[in-house]
Amino acid sequence: MSQFSDVSVIGLGAMGWGAAISLLRDGFSVYGVDIRQEVLERFSAEKGNPCQSPAEAAKLASVVMVFVVTDKQVEQVLFGQDGAVAAAEPGTLFINSSTIQPSSAVEIGKRLESAGMRVIDAPVSGGAARALRGEVTVMASGSGEAFKIAGPIFDAISAKVFRLGAEVGQGSRIKMINQLLSDVHIAATAEAMTLASNIGVNLETMYEVITQSTGNSWMFEDRGAHIVNGDYAPRSPIDIIVKDLGIVSFEAESAGAAVPLTNAALALFSEARAEGYGREDGCAVAKLLGRKSDTALPGVKDRSQE
């Protein structure tokens, strides 16, 4: 373990929790920050060190990882009241693993560097289960010096690290494209399974055939199984998908790029959120499509009973 063996993780949601536990498992001293007291208590039970603010955590660690949801939350935990940056020692490495607008990642990186900090833009992909196993994919960009420090940390939390150059923001750009594909594939999976049910195809048979055919995708294989089993527990909640596709739509419009599939999927997920499915998994858009098609799906009650 190097001199950079003290790591603070700000945001102990699904991905941040997995990273923090993976770091603890590899022998790091880990300080955790979350607004939920019950999560901090659970973190303490795992031999982690709970902190009440980003500032407190930043004082104790030479590396700060950020796993929050929105651009505003990243700015708040870094630069707001009790923020990490003002409390951190110069030269502290900040690893921003939040999925935010690439343009915001660039601006936040510049502000961190201006404050004398090292920076890596490093969004991750893989879901909560892989995060807990230390097997996420990291899409990272930053200086060679920063990567030397981050190496053991990325080894602890990931199965694959893509080094995408020195320009902060490149990781967030590629993560944005990944979210475009992931979320459009979830929408396509829900549409395909609902149509299959509507025309009288057995969903278990449908799933078995498609997973061995050219129409398969990682998301179909994963979320299709959940639809077959009537399991809509949130892996990627619709609320988060709306946020992520909103990033794609905004950045594409700013760049003058046409993204019709993104916009169609965003409209569908936004409608599902408005109908009360926001905290369910993205594949719960199948419930909305099922209602529109008057089609029964496994495990889905009549709307009046949900």
Catalytic residue positions, numbered: 175
What's the rounded Cα separation, in Å, for the pair 164 and 8? 24
Cβ within 8 Å of residue 207, ≥6 positions away: 193, 224, 225, 228
Whether 293 and 198 have beta carbons less than 8 Å apart is answered as: yes
Please state at what angle helix 14-25 crosses helix 144-157, rounded to 10 degrees.
90
- Which amino acid is it at 283? C
Cα separation, 28 vs 4, whole angstroms:
9
Cα(234)–Cα(20) distance, integer angstroms: 20
